[in-house]
A and B are shown apart, each in its own frame.
Chain A
Amino acid sequence: MPLIVRLAWRNIGRNKRRTSLTVAAAVFAVVLVVHMIALTSGMHDRMIEDNVRMHAGHLQLTGAGYLEDRTLERFVRWTPALAATVDSEPGVAAAAPRVNGFALLSNGPASQGVALLGVDPAREGGVSTWPARIVQGEFLDGEAREILLGERLAEALGARIGGEVLVYTVAYTLENAYELFRVRGLIRAPDPRLERSLALISLADAQALFAYDGRVSEVAMLVRDPARLEATRAALAADVAVHSTEPLDVNPWQRVMPELAQLIRIDDVQNYSMLAILVVVVAFGILNTILMSVLERQRELGVMLALGFAPRAIFRLVYIESLLLSGIGLAFGLVLALPAAAVMERHPVPITGDIQKMTETFGVTPVITWELTAWNPAIATSLMIAIALLAALYPAAKAASARPVDALRSL
């Protein structure tokens, strides 16, 4: 061990009580940082995955500009060639074409405006969780003129499984379209508002109803590796351009659900501002310890300078003391926090009560999840280094500028 590190080590060991209190503050900060980052990144990942898998998919292939107004006028021609291109794209795990329209559903005197979704029964399950969300009856299987209703929608309409509802809408050709559908199943969606205004029919029926021959509004896709989303998106955009006469967009989930992407960004800003405040508070603790130890050692530092120690070496000595303090805090903090976070990562905690309803409304499974990535200890480490560097600045400058004469005289 170089002399200067040994000196620094001895110096922080001189007042063990003071050092341990300072280290304890650092340990507390590290534990808090590790868990807070694990919790928020766990929550954000769950929000993204839940929303992506509920309906939207990681990527959506649409007609150019579809996301701006979501009208029937913007479409994708879902030809076998295009389907083959999408299916053979190496990064794409599954794809499901959909027609998105609006309709007024009525059953006797009750009526309700709904988002009417035409889905391919064979493909939909690969992308979204709709087939798994059936609470009564069955999912669509290709039988003509069958419809799935949100549970609350069915309740509002007074509709039952096996009963018929009238679907009234305006087709792509702007002609009025009516059709009777038989209720095949009821769906439960996490968001009650969504559940009250959602109905699913088969893609073929939707294309017939909306006079949308061979067209779809969007093709939702899951990718194999979400970390390589942008690469997959670009590759797919290049490949589909070859097969389509109309201009198409391949939208990542951030564009399909901008609310979600921005909510996550805001949450990050809030969390990092809290961490910043914590860092400042802990940095002051370390500053105080180092400063006191420097002030107590005025005489000793003066002697060192008088003996020919360069001021730069003194400066470095104080810096190493600060780094040692926060380094010890970091080591203990990580040892305490990481195993606990790793255990929690395997055991998500279910949320119950009122907050459960709230998370469900935002389309998120009500569990608290920890997520540990290499980023987590890396952020904690860089924060502690930042604390050490900030805290030592004033004491180190103070120490290096000690005047040997004054220091020696002061005794």
Chain B
Amino acid sequence: MARALAQFAGSLVRASTWRLALRGLGRQPRRSAVVLAAVAIGLGSLLLAMALQYGLVGQMAETAIRSEIGDLQVHASAWKDSAPLAERMPEAPSLAALDGAQTLIGVAPRLRGEALAQSPRASVGVRVIGVDPAREPSVTTLASLVQEGAWLGVQPRRALVGGGLARRLRTGVGDKIVLAVQDVRGDLTGEAFRIGGVLNPPTRELDESVVVLSLPDAQRLYGVAGEISELALAARDRAALEAPRAEAAAALGVGVRVETWREREPLLSMMIELFDQMGWVIYAAIFVAMAFGIANVLLMSVLERTREIGILLAIGMPPARMVAIVIAESAVLVMVGVALGFALGFGGIYALRDGIDLGVFGDGLRAYGMPTKLMPIARSGDVTAPLVVAGVTALIASLWPALRAVRTRPAEALRRA
């Protein structure tokens, strides 16, 4: 057995094995071409479909991170989403602590609260985000979402609202709204703001139920001068968030909690993981369907060569070598097919790099924070998953044909011709 394995392994690295395999496939070029086409077209279209689907999920994460969350967020240890005003951090010392951080490229302080926004026509419950107009653009795209009017600047008492909220309040740029809030002492209070700009945010929540104020305005409104509820951070390297997390935690000391966007948005992160797992299932399903076709071709090729194989075995070729040849044939078919499939798939991804307009699906996508322009995004998994699955497929598909080949009885095979 050990000897057979050694022969098998030895055969796989010999050039003559692969030459024989290629010759076997070349005998019926049309048949081999059909299998190649099946693998190539199947894999190519699958790659493109997966990249487009990931484009949907990935852009969704990107949108959420870029428009509001940031790569990392810092809160007081006891802070809760449900009571955003209850736990706060000092503004100036926190900023000073993080400004020299090597792993961060942006730090944006915020104050979060709840309010009832009232216009002369209607009233709507909203989330209030007080932002530092100068620092916010270093972390999020919020400033670039201004569709009408202007980003927060020097003028006090300006509010930015999403287009959806403006519509619900029946107001526009220049109109006054009143934000009624409960301040930090528990008193009901309120202040009038002029709408300085209307945003066109990518998510429905931001669009319909968020009011953005300048940080000093928000601090005055809630009665918490010099305090913030959150720091949103942009990391230098967004793929490795542990280093900036550690640096920020060390710089800020005890009493704060630094979280990555994955921890802040566990659902989003989970959806991406689920998607990755689904990817393997889908690649596997399509390759199983391909395996039948590959096995068929190999088996036919082995059966046609019964006489030749019989002679080879009769003159003393080790059966392990025969198995290696059939597996090599399978590997050549699959690998050439996969290479062509990659070319097709990535070619398609490249051709669609500018994105497909999803206007037909419209609002539904926005509500879930999905993009309305779909761009295919290929990831490393789109290379490794097909390669691994294809390798397994090549092996499995060649098992029956290989066994069949070594079971050929030389005497019978020779007699037959």
A53 close to chain B: CB less than 8 A: no
Given contacts A104-B125, A168-B188, A280-B45, contact A358 B270 (CB under 8 A): yes
9-residue interface stretch from B3-11, B178-186, B312-320: B178-186
Q: Are B42 and A277 in contact (CB under 8 A)?
A: yes
Q: Are B188 and A281 in contact (CB under 8 A)?
A: no
Given contacts A22-B292, A170-B123, contact A281 B49 (CB under 8 A): no
A215 close to chain B: CB less than 8 A: no
Q: Are A18 and B289 in contact (CB under 8 A)?
A: no
A129 close to chain B: CB less than 8 A: no
From 291 to 325 in chain A, residues with beta carbon under 8 angstroms from any chain B beta carbon are 291-292, 295
A274 close to chain B: CB less than 8 A: yes
Task: Report A-chain residues with C-beta under 8 Å of the C-beta of B31.
Answer: 288, 291-292
Given contacts A17-B303, A285-B293, contact A71 B170 (CB under 8 A): yes
Q: Are B115 and A32 in contact (CB under 8 A)?
A: no
Q: Are A282 and B289 in contact (CB under 8 A)?
A: yes
Q: Are A258 and B364 in contact (CB under 8 A)?
A: yes
Q: Are A259 and B125 in contact (CB under 8 A)?
A: no
Q: Interface SS of chain B: helix, strand, loop or mixed?
A: helix
B200 close to chain A: CB less than 8 A: no
Q: Are B125 and A114 in contact (CB under 8 A)?
A: yes
A325 to B118, CA, bound (A): 69
A237 close to chain B: CB less than 8 A: no
Q: Are B186 and A274 in contact (CB under 8 A)?
A: no
Q: Are B182 and A104 in contact (CB under 8 A)?
A: yes
- Taking the closest CB of chain A, its distance from the CB of B294, in whole angstroms, is 9
Q: Are B282 and A274 in contact (CB under 8 A)?
A: yes
Task: Report B-chain residues with C-beta under 8 Å of the C-beta of A355.
Answer: 270, 274
Cβ 8 A contact of A288, one of B34, B81, B122: B34
Q: Are A278 and B123 in contact (CB under 8 A)?
A: no
B92 close to chain A: CB less than 8 A: no
Q: Are B188 and A71 in contact (CB under 8 A)?
A: no
- Taking the closest CB of chain B, its distance from the CB of A159, in whole angstroms, is 12
B35 close to chain A: CB less than 8 A: yes
Given contacts A109-B182, A170-B123, contact A277 B368 (CB under 8 A): no
Given contacts A169-B123, A291-B31, contact A285 B116 (CB under 8 A): no
Q: Interface SS of chain A: helix, strand, loop or mixed?
A: helix
Given contacts A69-B170, A111-B181, contact A18 B186 (CB under 8 A): no
Instruction: Give a binary string over B23-60; 1 marks a CB under 8 Å from any A CB, 0 the rest.
Output: 00000101100110110011001100100010010000
B155 close to chain A: CB less than 8 A: no
Q: Are B42 and A280 in contact (CB under 8 A)?
A: yes
Q: Are B114 and A277 in contact (CB under 8 A)?
A: no
A289 close to chain B: CB less than 8 A: yes
Task: Report B-chain residues with C-beta under 8 Å of the C-beta of A174.
Answer: 120-121
Task: Report B-chain residues with C-beta under 8 Å of the C-beta of A28.
Answer: 288-289, 292
Cβ 8 A contact of A69, one of B53, B167, B180, B295: B167
A357 close to chain B: CB less than 8 A: yes
Q: Are B115 and A104 in contact (CB under 8 A)?
A: yes
Task: Report A-chain residues with C-beta under 8 Å of the C-beta of B225.
Answer: none
Of all chain A residues, which has the CB nearest B120? A174
A263 close to chain B: CB less than 8 A: yes
Instruction: Give a binary string over A46-90; 1 marks a CB under 8 Å from any B CB, 0 the rest.
Output: 000000000000000000000011111100000000000000000
B206 close to chain A: CB less than 8 A: no
B134 close to chain A: CB less than 8 A: no
9-residue interface stretch from A226-234, A265-273, A364-372: A265-273
From 283 to 315 in chain B, residues with beta carbon under 8 angstroms from any chain A beta carbon are 285-286, 288-290, 292-293, 295-297, 299-300, 303
Given contacts A197-B125, A358-B271, contact A21 B120 (CB under 8 A): no
Of all chain B residues, which has the CB nearest A15? B300
- Taking the closest CB of chain B, its distance from the CB of A267, in whole angstroms, is 10
A261 to B361, CA, bound (A): 10
A7 close to chain B: CB less than 8 A: no
Given contacts A109-B182, A170-B116, A284-B41, contact A155 B296 (CB under 8 A): no
Task: Report B-chain residues with C-beta under 8 Å of the C-beta of A291.
Answer: 30-31, 34
Q: Are A70 and B168 in contact (CB under 8 A)?
A: yes
A106 to B271, CA, bound (A): 35
A18 to B301, CA, bound (A): 11
Task: Report B-chain residues with C-beta under 8 Å of the C-beta of A170.
Answer: 116, 118, 122-123
- Taking the closest CB of chain A, its distance from the CB of B55, in whole angstroms, is 12
Name A residues whose Cβ lies closer than 8 Å to a Cβ of B.
Answer: 15, 17-18, 21-22, 24-25, 28-29, 32, 68-73, 102-104, 106, 108-115, 152-153, 155-156, 168-170, 174, 196-197, 258-263, 265-266, 270, 273-274, 276-278, 280-282, 284-285, 287-289, 291-292, 295, 354-355, 357-358, 361
20 contacts between A and B (CB under 8 A): A18-B299, A21-B295, A22-B296, A25-B292, A32-B289, A69-B167, A72-B122, A106-B188, A110-B182, A111-B188, A156-B83, A174-B120, A259-B364, A262-B365, A274-B46, A276-B45, A281-B41, A284-B38, A288-B293, A355-B274
Besides A115-B125, A266-B365, 12 more A-B contacts (Cβ < 8 Å) are: A25-B289, A25-B293, A28-B288, A71-B121, A109-B186, A110-B86, A114-B125, A153-B82, A156-B80, A168-B116, A274-B49, A280-B42
The 8 closest A-B pairs by CB, nearest first: A262-B364, A113-B125, A284-B38, A111-B182, A25-B292, A109-B186, A156-B82, A259-B367
Name B residues whose Cβ lies closer than 8 Å to a Cβ of A.
Answer: 28, 30-31, 34-35, 37-38, 41-42, 45-46, 49, 53, 56, 80-83, 86, 114-116, 118, 120-127, 167-168, 170, 180-182, 184-186, 188, 204, 266-267, 270-271, 274, 282, 285-286, 288-290, 292-293, 295-297, 299-300, 303, 361-365, 367-368
